[in-house]
Amino acid sequence: DERKEHIPDDLLAVVLGRFFRERGSGGTRMSRDAVRAVGRYMDTFVREGVARGAWAGEERGNGVLEVEDLERLAPQLLLD
């Protein structure tokens, strides 16, 4: 079943706008649809990271998601 949790579009727009300003791309603007599309990618990325981290915790036998699990899986997650 599909979960309802997600990154709010307004929050994502603020974060992206700040990123563009800090990188000297202050003139870069994104439409609402573009922000929504980035949000869907971010939701997928976060869910996949948490799922892989939880799986790693289960493999260790304690079933607890640790920061170290996320740090270990981040490079492969980015490549995928």
Domains of the chain, by residue range, sit at 9-79
* 9-79: CATH, from 1.10.20, 1.10.8, 2.40.50, 3.30.450: 1.10.20
CB count, 10 Å around CB of 67? Answer: 8
Tokens of 29: 């603007």
Q: Which long-range contacts (CB under 8 A, 24 or more apart) does 69-76 make?
A: 73/49, 74/49
Output 3 or 68, whichever has higher pLDDT.
68
| Strand, coil or helix: 2 | coil
Structure tokens given for 43: 């939701």
pLDDT value of residue 6? 84
Model confidence pLDDT, tens digit, residues 25-76: 767 888 999 999 999 999 999 889 888 888 887 887 877 778 888 888 889 8
